[in-house]
Amino acid sequence: MLATSESLKQDIEKLTDEQLQQVAEFIAFLRFQEKRKRIILDPVLLAPLATEFSEEDRALAESGMGDYADMLAQEDQL
């Protein structure tokens, strides 16, 4: 069933105050979702974040390499 603005208005007029509040919250959620879709990430703003976390990422990768080498050695023994 395709909802028309007129049929929605008629349905809204029959709602309780609590139901109207729920409708208002849902409308706010829909607007938020739409805004979120339109956000364009600016590479200029993202570059400092990548730089900031690159050292941490590198340290995590290095720390995991020892475990990986141990697992490979165990696999070779099987």
Q: Would you list the DSSP string of 6-75?
A: HHHHHHHHT--HHHHHHHHHHHHHHHHHHHHHH----HHHHHHHHHHHHHHHHHHHHHHHHHHHHHHHHH
Could you report the per-residue pLDDT of 31-74, keeping only the tens digit for each? 998 887 777 778 888 888 888 888 888 887 887 777 777 888 88
Q: Does 17 score more than 70 pLDDT? A: yes
Band of the pLDDT at 27, cuts 50, 70, 90? very high
pLDDT of residue 76: 84
Q: Does 1 score more than 70 pLDDT? A: no
| Cα separation, 39 vs 64, whole angstroms | 35
pLDDT of residue 63: 78
Q: Measuring CA to CA, which residue among 21, 48, 30 is closest to residue 12?
A: 21
